[in-house]
Structure 1
Amino acid sequence: MNFVWAFVVGGLICVVGQLLMDYTGMTPARILVAYVVAGVVLSALGWYDPLAEFAGAGATVPLLGFGHLLAQGVVDAVEQQGLLGALTGGFTAAAGGVTASLTVGFLLSLVAKSRDQN
């Protein structure tokens, strides 16, 4: 049953994004930012963890999960370092994922050929 809920919740998140693109004229970049901010807001309200517990991977999609990761990184760093943690916590928490994505992107750019879209 966990797979079903993950599929349903993840699908609903994707449907909301598609509806925003189709009916509001929002650009994909703004929708991506909205999802990251939604992850931060859900984390701040304490709703992200119950949602992730209920839906598993369906709720921890990269954008909502990234927003939650940033928020939790800031909270943890502020508890340890004080106000300076508000500036460094998000970067520290997300450093591994960002480094991995940049490294893989760089390595694939060495292997793949780039060409015009047209």
Structure 2
Amino acid sequence: MSYVWTFLVGGAICVIGQLLIDYTALTPARILTGYVVAGVVLSAVGLYDPLVEFAGAGASVPLLGFGHLLAQGVVSAVDEIGLPGIFTGGLTAAAGGIAASLVFGVLAALVGKSHDQS
């Protein structure tokens, strides 16, 4: 049954994004940013962890999960080093994912062939 909930929650998150693309004037960049901020907000009000416990990987999709990771990194860093943790915690917690995305982006650029869009 957990696979069903994972599929339904993850699918609902994707459907919301697709509806925002299709029926609003929001750009994909704004929708992406909105999902990251939603992950931060869900984490801040304590709803993200119960959602992940309920839906598993379906709720920890990359954008919401990235927002949660940033929020938890800030909380952890503030507990450890105080106020400067506000500025360093999020990036410290997400450094591995950010580095991986840059490395794979460069590899994709090396393998792919660029051309002008028309």
Q: TM-score range by the shorter chain?
A: over 0.9
| TM-score of the two chains, using structure 2 as the length reference | 0.95
Provide the rounded CA distance (Å) in 1 between the counterparts of 2:112 and 2:63. 26
Cα shift at 1:110? 1.7
Structure 1 unmatched runs, 5+: none
Measured after TM superposition, the shift of residue 107 of structure 1 is: 1.8
Percent of matched pairs sharing the same residue = 72
Report the 3-state secondary structure (helix = DSSP H, G, I; strand = E; otherwise coil) of the residue aligned with 2:26.
Answer: coil
Offset of 1:33 from its aligned partner? 0.6
Q: State the TM-score, normalizing by the size of structure 1.
A: 0.95
For structure 2, the 5+ residue unaligned runs are: none
- The answer to whether the aligner puts 1:41 opposite 2:41 as a matched pair is yes
For 1:2-46, what per-residue CA distance to the aligned partner results, in whole angstroms no more than 9, with x for missing partners? 111111001100111111122221111111111000000000000
Once superposed, what is the RMSD of the aligned Cα atoms? 1.0
Partner of 2:81: 81
Moved over 4 A (4+): none
Structure 2: which amino acid aligns with 1:25? A
Q: Which moved more, 1:16-25 or 1:50-59?
A: 16-25
Q: Which residue number in structure 2 is paired with residue 72 of structure 1?
A: 72
Between the two proteins, the alignment pairs up a number of residues equal to 118
Question: Which of 12-21 and 58-67 deviates more?
Answer: 12-21
Q: Which residue type is aligned with residue 85 of structure 1?
A: G
Residue aligning to 1:91: 91
